[in-house]
Structure 1
């Protein structure tokens, strides 16, 4: 598993260093800002958006990521999320999630991400009081709908960095909605 992450990091670093100059002023140009909302996954701390309900219990999350393009096609990102669980007949719990990372657009249309995601609060802890921490790598495709909006379906793998919380990784398929300013 460590080899997979080292290989992904090496590809990401190589792509970042070899970024091509794009003076066309496109959506992913240096100095632009991005704001994105993604579908989420209730299995880990997330800055995505989701709602689930089953047998009287419900869980939800709402969050956004934002980023700044420090060079053409490469954005540094941060995100925040807030979510909770309302179990049937039990006390509601809530948690805050955060994400820090980078997003590189290969050929200005294939987003590749590398980030760290975590959560804190009563709703994020396991029975031993441990909170999640994940290293995530993802890729997708950006369908640009004009000059300011893109729909970005993608896949993502999250590797747990806190084995006291869980030793399992989480695979996700999600859809992102990105606004470029």
Structure 2
């Protein structure tokens, strides 16, 4: 399943890698970005995740998109949908934030991430801070490994923060 998902993402990305070549960098003002990330099974994720243990399966599917409002600075939104087979629940996740490419190669991001959980009395809300490196494999495609810290803003849901190691696949259009 992971290989199929990666292959589909690679075909999509390479098919659009030369869609726009206007002479600017991938992070120039007016450029769009589409990003898919790996992640852990944290509630409120817009990443691609799947875990299965002792008959319980937890999954999430999501994408982030953004627009560069100035060189190296993009505003982003993300949506995700997931579920938990043991709890028989659905989770809708959302993200709103900004991402700045320091020197065009080091993405630094801040965002607000939340989730709406079916039949839950409390829903999570996180302040996410992240940093990483953008490895451009073509002029319009980057692999972005990075670290992320999610600070809980809803102490009734959890008062613990969550560290993540993510690998993002970003297409710049």
Report the TM-score, using the length of structure 2 for normalisation: 0.85
For residues 60-75 of structure 1, what are the structure 2 equivalents within 5 Å? 60-75=59-74
Deviation for aligned residue 1:44: 2.3
In the other structure, the counterpart of 2:132 is: 140
Which residue is equivalent to 2:123?
A: 131
Q: Report deviation, 1:132.
A: 0.1
Of 72, 94, 99, which residue of structure 1 is paired with 2:95? 99
Please report the RMSD computed on the Cα atoms of aligned residues, expressed in angstroms. 1.4
Separation of aligned partners in 2, 1:167 and 1:56: 28
Please give the alpha-carbon distance, in whole angstroms, between the structure 2 residues aligned to 1:65 and 1:36. Answer: 5
4+ residue runs of structure 1 moved beyond 6 angstroms? Answer: none
Q: How many residues align?
A: 152
Measure the CA separation in 1 of the matches of 2:143 and 2:58.
25
| Structure 1 residue 24: Cα displacement | 5.8
Give unmatched runs, 5+ long, in structure 1.
1-22
TM-score, normalization by structure 1: 0.81
Measured in 1, the distance between the counterparts of 2:135 and 2:48 equals 20
CA–CA distance in structure 2, aligned partners of residues 174 and 105 of structure 1: 17
Q: Which runs of 5+ in 2 are unaligned?
A: 1-21
- In structure 2, the partner of 1:79 is 78
Structure 1, residues 71-120: CA drift from partner, whole Å, max 9, x if none? 00000000000000001xxx521110000000000000000000000000
Q: How far apart are residue 121 of structure 1 and its match?
A: 2.4
